[in-house]
Amino acid sequence: MRRALNISEWGQQEGGLKATFNVVMIYEDFETGKHAKRTYDFLVQNLAGEFSLSNQMWKFDVLTIPKLAEIAAQDALAADIIIVSSRGGQELPPHVCHWMEMWVGGEMRAQALVALFQGDEFYTQNGVRRYLAEAAKRAVIEFFEQPGSLSVGQPATGMAAQSQATRQDRAFTTLTGALNREMPVPRWGINE
């Protein structure tokens, strides 16, 4: 069984250089790609003082090409965090599931799988969420989910915007807290 994620254990590399923190993002389309990139930018803002961050972004469509899927799977095995950003729905495309199966059982460095969804309807009928949660469980890594509260679509206004910002702040605080293990992680989809 994997140990709990603790960022301080990555420490510093020889010569005082910052250790590298790798993030792999796969996304469904342009809007979900922006959602993933904003999440990565948040990690940069909160971890750049301690780490040199790097990222690889892969669109779902390119995973239909076997050689590229293989490269993306190697990236996932070397990542510290894997982000999957989609519109949600009943299921991931078969080629994305195949890509996930390529790395889920492998020797991996990742400590967390972060699922980003556009729209709040994911709570009721989201097969993608169930699949990703199960994949994280099989990979013995933590699972975080974030609904469309990052507003990749229409900008929110009024109370909706305030609620949306509160959810976003809470989700990001939880993610960085889990990375730093400075606070207990609330049950909002982790390892379910």
Residue 8 covered by a domain: no
DSSP state at residue 154:
S
Which sign does the torsion angle of CA 162, 23, 56, 43 carry?
positive
Number of domains in the chain: 1
Tell whether 155 is covered by a domain.
Answer: yes
Q: What distance in Å separates the CA atoms of residue 1 and residue 141, rounded to the nearest whole number?
A: 9
Spatial contact of 25 and 57, defined as CB atoms under 8 Å apart: yes
- For residue 11, tell me if it sits in a domain: no
Q: Identify any residues that bridge with 166 across adjacent strands, giving them in sequence order.
A: none
| Residue 104 in domain | yes
Q: Is 173 a domain residue?
A: yes
Rounded to an integer, the average pLDDT of 3-31 is 69
Strands in 112-117's sheet, in edge-to-edge order, are 51-59, 19-27, 81-86, 112-117, 142-146
Range of the domain at 51: 18-180
Task: Give domain status of residue 117, yes or no.
Answer: yes
Give the residue with greater pLDDT, 52 vs 150. Answer: 52
pLDDT of residue 163: 45
For position 104, what pLDDT does the model report? 93
Contact (CB, 8 A) for 138 and 110: no
2-14 per-position pLDDT tens digit: 444 444 444 444 4
Which amino acid is it at 47?
Answer: L
pTM (predicted TM-score)? 0.71
Residue 57 is assigned to a structural domain of this protein: yes
169 in any annotated domain: yes
The secondary structure of residue 16, as a DSSP letter, is G
Q: Tens digit of pLDDT for each residue in 115-138?
A: 998 765 544 467 888 899 999 999
The CATH number for 39's domain is 3.40.50.360
